[in-house]
Amino acid sequence: MPGQGARPHRSGIAEVQECRPEGPRQRREGERHPDDPSSIISDALGWDAFDNLTGEYRIKGSFADFVIRRDGKHFVIIEVKAIASKLNDNHLYQAVSYAASEGVEWVILTNGAEWRLYRVLFSKPVAHELVFEVSIIDDTMKPKEKTDLLYLLTPEAQRKDELEVFFQRQRALSATNIAKLTLSESVLTKLRAEIKTDSGNRVALDELAEILVRCVIREDAQGDHVDKQLKRVQRAARAPRKTPAASAEAETR
C-alpha cells in the first residue's frame, strides 16, 4: 500500500460522508458543498484549484468535467455525475473516449460519493482497467483503506510515482495474470515433474494445462490471456518433435 507521506485530509472525507443520496444536508449560501468534486480534489487531495485543475475542458466538440494537470501536462480526466446517479458503463465510455483523444492514461469516474479510478490502455482497440474504487459513504469499508487509496491521487503520491507502482503491482498479482503464468511452459514442466515424483504418473503438458483450466483456475480468472496461453501449449504439443538425428543433421547444414 502507499507510503506514509502526505495523505488526504480526513476531515474532508468526513464532510463528504454527510452527503448521502437519500438525504444531503442543506447547503448554506456561499458554502462549498462537500460532494462538490472540485472541493474534494483541492481540499481533500491537495491539488491547487488554479494551477492544477481545469473545469469544462473542451475535447473534440464536447467537454470533460475536470482535468488535473501535473507538470503542465494532463494527468487525469474526471467525469462527474450527480450524487444520486448510479455510475454506469456509458459514463465510463464517455470518460475513456475523452482520455484516449488526449493521450491521458488515467480516468476518474465519480458521483461525489463513489470514486473509481481507471487506467486507459492504448491498445487496439483502446481498453481500460479498474484500478480501485472508493465509496466514501460505505460504512463497511475501513477509513484507513479509503485514505490509503485516495492518497494515491495526491500530488505527493505522483511525485513518488506511487500510483504507477501500485497499478503495476496490482496488475502483476491479478488473478488473470497468475492464471496465465500458471499455464507457462516452465510452470507446467515443473508441475509435471512434481506429479511424476509424487505418483509415478506421466502427463502431457497440454493435458495438464487443460485440467488446470477446467478444474483449478476459477472462471472469473480466465479470459483472453488464459485462452491464448492454453492454445499456445496445445499447439506446441501438436507440433512434430525433432529426433536427435534430425537435430544433428540440421546443425551440420
Q: Could you list the pLDDT tens digit for every one of the 253 residues in the chain?
A: 554 444 445 455 445 555 554 444 444 433 444 456 777 888 888 888 888 888 887 877 777 888 999 888 899 999 988 888 889 888 899 889 888 888 999 999 998 889 999 999 998 889 999 999 999 888 898 988 998 999 999 999 999 999 999 999 999 999 999 999 999 999 999 999 999 999 999 999 999 999 999 999 988 888 777 788 888 888 888 887 665 555 445 444 4
Angle between helices 175-182 and 224-238 (to 10 degrees): 0
Q: DSSP secondary-structure letter at 83?
A: T
- For 149-162, the DSSP string reads HHHTTSHHHHHTTH
Phi and psi at residue 221, in whole multiples of 5°? Answer: -95, -5
pLDDT at 181: 94
The amino acid at residue 155 is P
pLDDT at 4: 46
Quick check: 19 and 83 in contact, CB under 8 A? yes
pTM: 0.76
Phi and psi at residue 114, in whole multiples of 5°? Answer: -110, 130
pLDDT at 7: 47
